[in-house]
């Protein structure tokens, strides 16, 4: 018998494993073993068993099996292999999220000392305590030292006497979780309306992944809660993913009303290695009923996985931007398929990928079209900034400033959303309200400046550059404006206009740790703040009852990003923003924009999500962008990235032509790479096939990329 082993060594060329003979060892898939590699012994994970040697070389034997239980379940290993195949990476790289850095023996289950009867000759037993021990051990395969001490109050001296006579023997043994230890972890039950209960029951009966499509404030969390409780009562475990680390602090208090806090593990990348090790062991042992966290929590080593929930499934943060460049949605779908678990994707604004799969029946879709307890949706007002006289208050219009002042007088709270921390500009015509777009990608040009300060236009998808036009290419107007604004500038204006208001700012500069998010949420809920100004984190699922005004300060920043998903993203953000206002009493939403008739803005203001998604899908098909076609991104860095990218694009195109593929390949500098990073974007069908036979050693591969600029 032979086995394939992923070793702990990071040596090049062995990332997909080495073949070893099992010898006299009983080896199973998922076992942790010690194997010879060159002149040393190293750890390794068994990922495949084989009857014959598929290697062209002589193979060595497994030296030792380190675990009696598999370190990873078979479903987890199958998912890792799928990740390696789908995302074009090595199996070792695909296993990295499942197994933190070596030594992996640290993650083995704790082994406890225990005893079993070796010789039943009672004539050798002396004293009442020894007799009691022998009677307790009779008929049992193994009893832990802890249990003997607890039940019989025995000491090590009593046991040593029996060990010396070889009447009993000592053995270290792993105590496996039985899958029922957490049945008592449920301490409360959610209260569902009849409509919510019907949706929960329907999703539980359907084995397909379910898209829970509910308007903001419709009560999706209560449905999650019911399905989590049902899963745990069935002896299974649940994973709940939220878009980012900071939102774990917002979510945890909701689930603490259902489960004992010790039954919930919060996993994210900010944990210390020691804390991660402790949680990893507890989860694998079966002590944890539910794992909550950002995308990496999907890789919790749950032995009895029964449910995975991805809240706000449309968020871009579920795509990992380092190798392995997985998407949590697709990886979770695969993990649930191999585990026999249920996948639920919840959102008020489905991603285009999830929408297509629900439309074609691959996903089950359940709708919640009304807010919880029939609370009214907020009134939405669009302000056309082209007609505004800002004075020194740009980007605040007088109507928005008046609305903020009115809410402050009524002791109500305000949420202000700005799409980006810094400045991201595109060229907008104030006459026809159209952006200057690239003829290559049909996406907006980005305004750049040379070192001498002269502005020019660049397309970060195709690499095309152009001079800044004096007139609009659509209507010949000279009213061209580069739009943009940052949170620091907006905070300064608010401070001058409303000096008595208590202002909180939530962006990447001020929110870097969950503790900061916890304090911000507490301040808002307890009425210790009046205005919350922030970037994307302020629109993602926050439930703040006293917020009655939510406003997007400058919608055009999002609309003008040079990305084919820009419209989808700003629509999602605007729709999510409407959900922050009026959750407990009537609310108001204000959208400031230079393009009041943009489809995304009109659809969000009218709460027309399905209509927008269907129209956007038609546009993607027309322009040949995902999800109606495939996309693959190659990233080139280090020495002469421009020359290497251009040369590789030529090679790619020759390969594409030779294979007769319907694929295009374009190269350009990345938006934030400062010229030191270039990428090549492939679009079409069978994009992976275009890479066949090419040397990709120094190229980063991103399958199904979210970032394309």
Q: What would the pLDDT profile of 292-311 be if each residue is shown by its tens digit?
A: 999 999 999 999 999 999 99
Using pLDDT thresholds of 50, 70 and 90, give the confidence band for residue 360.
very high
**420 pLDDT higher than 60:** no
Using pLDDT thresholds of 50, 70 and 90, give the confidence band for residue 377.
confident
- What percent of the residues of the chain are helix, what percent strand, and what percent coil, each to the nearest 5? 35, 25, 45
Using pLDDT thresholds of 50, 70 and 90, give the confidence band for residue 487.
low
pLDDT tens-digit series, residues 186-236: 888 899 999 999 999 999 999 999 999 999 888 899 999 999 999 999 999
Q: Are 574 and 539 in contact (CB under 8 A)?
A: no
Residue 552 CB-half CA count within 13 A: 35
Using pLDDT thresholds of 50, 70 and 90, give the confidence band for residue 582.
low
Query: What CATH superfamily classification does 2-107 receive?
Result: PriA, 3(prime) DNA-binding domain (3.40.1440.60)
- Which residue shows structure tokens 């489905």? 350
Q: Are 709 and 562 in contact (CB under 8 A)?
A: yes
450, burial (CB in 10 Å: exposed 0-12, middle 13-18, buried 19+) = exposed
Q: Are 255 and 248 in contact (CB under 8 A)?
A: no
More confident residue, 487 or 67: 67
φ, ψ for residue 248, nearest 5 deg: -65, -35
User: What are the Cα distances from residue 280, in Å, to 108, 288, 307?
Assistant: 10, 10, 18
- In angstroms, the CA 250 to CA 267 distance is 14
Using pLDDT thresholds of 50, 70 and 90, give the confidence band for residue 423.
very low
pLDDT tens-digit series, residues 427-440: 888 888 888 888 88
- In angstroms, the CA 243 to CA 318 distance is 6
Q: Residue 525 has what pLDDT?
A: 87
- Which residue shows structure tokens 């006497």? 161
CA end-to-end span of the chain, whole Å? Answer: 49
**552 pLDDT higher than 80:** yes
Q: Residue 503 has what pLDDT?
A: 93
Q: Are 352 and 568 in contact (CB under 8 A)?
A: yes
Question: What are residue 181's DSSP bridge partners?
Answer: none
**452 pLDDT higher than 90:** no
Mean pLDDT lowest among 285-289, 314-318, 536-540, 701-705: 536-540
Architecture in CATH of 630-703: 2-Layer Sandwich (3.30)
More confident residue, 155 or 447: 155
- In angstroms, the CA 690 to CA 693 distance is 9
Tell whether the torsion through CA atoms of 571, 572, 574 and 575 is positive or negative.
positive
Rounded mean pLDDT of 608-616? 96
- Specify the DSSP element, H or E, that contains 141: none
Using pLDDT thresholds of 50, 70 and 90, give the confidence band for residue 512.
low
In 3D space, the residue among 569, 345, 224, 245 whose CA is nearest the CA of residue 577 turns out to be 569
**84 pLDDT higher than 50:** yes
In 3D space, the residue among 511, 541, 577 whose CA is nearest the CA of residue 311 turns out to be 541
Retrieve residue 105's tokens.
């023996």
What is the longest distance spanned by two Cα atoms in the chain?
109
Q: In sequence order, which residues have a C-beta less than 8 Å from that of residue 686 and are 6 or more positions away?
A: 630, 661, 662, 663
Q: Are 675 and 687 in contact (CB under 8 A)?
A: no
**509 pLDDT higher than 70:** no
Report whether CATH 3.40.50.11540 matches the domain 183-373: no
Average pLDDT, the chain: 88
User: What are the Cα distances from residue 659, in Å, to 163, 171, 686, 692, 703?
Assistant: 73, 62, 10, 10, 20
pLDDT tens-digit series, residues 90-122: 999 999 999 888 889 888 877 788 999 988 788
pLDDT tens-digit series, residues 389-411: 888 888 899 999 999 999 999 99
The domain 375-423+483-618 is placed in CATH, from the list 3.40.50.2300, 3.40.50.300, 3.40.50.2000, 3.40.309.10, at 3.40.50.300
Q: Residue 203 has what pLDDT?
A: 98
């Amino acid at each position: 018998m032979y086995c394939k082993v992923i070793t702990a060594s990071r040596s090049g060329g062995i990332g997909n494993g080495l073949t070893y003979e099992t010898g006299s060892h009983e080896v199973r898939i998922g076992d942790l073993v010690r194997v010879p590699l060159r002149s040393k012994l190293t750890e390794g994970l068994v990922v495949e068993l084989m009857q014959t040697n598929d290697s062209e070389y002589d193979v060595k034997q497994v030296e030792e099996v380190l675990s009696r239980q598999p370190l990873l379940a078979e479903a987890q290993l199958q998912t890792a292999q799928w990740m390696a195949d789908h995302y074009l990476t090595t199996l070792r790289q695909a296993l990295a999220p499942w197994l933190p850095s070596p030594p992996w023996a640290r993650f083995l289950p704790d082994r406890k000392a225990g005893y079993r009867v070796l010789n039943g000759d009672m004539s050798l037993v002396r004293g009442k305590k020894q007799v009691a021990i022998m009677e307790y051990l009779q008929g049992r395969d193994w009893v832990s030292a802890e249990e003997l001490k607890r039940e019989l109050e025995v000491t090590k001296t009593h046991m040593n006497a029996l060990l010396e006579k070889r009447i009993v023997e000592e053995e270290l043994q792993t105590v496996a979780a039985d899958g029922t230890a957490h049945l008592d972890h449920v301490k409360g039950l959610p209260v569902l309306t009849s409509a919510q209960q019907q949706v929960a029951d329907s999703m539980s009966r359907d084995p397909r992944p379910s898209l829970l499509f509910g308007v903001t404030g419709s009560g999706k969390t209560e449905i999650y809660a019911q399905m989590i409780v049902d899963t745990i009562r069935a002896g299974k475990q649940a994973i709940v993913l939220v878009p980012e680390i900071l939102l774990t602090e917002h979510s945890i208090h909701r689930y603490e009303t259902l489960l004992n806090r010790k039954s919930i593990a919060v996993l994210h990348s900010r944990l210390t290695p020691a804390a991660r090790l402790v949680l990893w062991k507890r989860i694998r042992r079966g002590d944890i009923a539910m794992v909550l966290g950002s995308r990496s929590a999907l890789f919790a080593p749950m032995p009895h996985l029964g449910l995975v929930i991805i809240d706000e499934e449309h968020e871009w943060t579920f795509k990992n931007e380092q190798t392995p460049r997985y998407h949590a949605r697709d990886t979770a779908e695969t993990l649930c398929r191999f585990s026999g678990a249920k996948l639920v994707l919840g959102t008020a604004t489905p991603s285009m990928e999830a929408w297509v799969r629900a439309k074609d029946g691959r996903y089950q879709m359940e709708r919640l079209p009304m807010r919880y307890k029939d609370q009214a949706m907020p009134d939405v007002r669009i302000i056309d900034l082209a007609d505004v006289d800002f004075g020194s208050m740009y980007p605040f219009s007088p109507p928005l400033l008046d609305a903020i002042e009115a809410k402050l007088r009524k002791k109500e709270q305000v949420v202000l959303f700005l799409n980006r921390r810094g400045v991201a500009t595109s060229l907008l015509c104030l006459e026809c309200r159209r952006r200057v777009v690239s003829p290559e990608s049909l996406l907006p040009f980005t305004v750049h400046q040379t070192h001498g300060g002269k502005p020019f236009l660049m397309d970060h998808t195709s690499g095309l550059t152009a001079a800044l036009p004096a007139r609009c290419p659509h209507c010949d107007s000279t009213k061209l404006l580069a739009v943009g604004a940052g949170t620091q500038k907006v905070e300064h204006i608010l401070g001058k206009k409303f000096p008595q208001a208590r202002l909180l700012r939530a962006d990447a500069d001020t929110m870097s740790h969950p503790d900061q998010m916890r304090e911000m949420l507490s301040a808002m809920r307890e009425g210790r703040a009046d205005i919350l100004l922030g970037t994307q984190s302020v629109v993602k699922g926050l439930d703040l009852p006293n917020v009655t005004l939510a406003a997007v300060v400058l919608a055009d920043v999002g609309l003008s990003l040079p990305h084919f998903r820009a419209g989808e993203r700003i629509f999602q953000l605007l729709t999510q923003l409407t959900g922050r206002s009026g959750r407990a009493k009537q609310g108001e939403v204000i959208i400031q924009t230079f393009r009041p008739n943009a489809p995304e803005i009109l659809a969000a203001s009218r709460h027309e999500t399905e209509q927008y998604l269907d129209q956007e899908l038609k546009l993607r098909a027309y322009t040949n962008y995902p999800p109606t076609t495939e996309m693959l991104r190659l990233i080139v860095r280090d020495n002469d990235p421009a020359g290497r990218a251009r040369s590789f694009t030529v090679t790619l195109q020759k390969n594409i032509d030779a294979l007769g593929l319907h694929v295009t390949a374009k190269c350009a500098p990345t938006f934030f790479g400062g010229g030191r990073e270039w990428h090549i974007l492939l679009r079409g069908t069978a994009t992976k096939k275009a890479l066949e036979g090419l040397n990709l050693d120094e190229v980063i591969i991103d399958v199904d990329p979210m970032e394309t600029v």
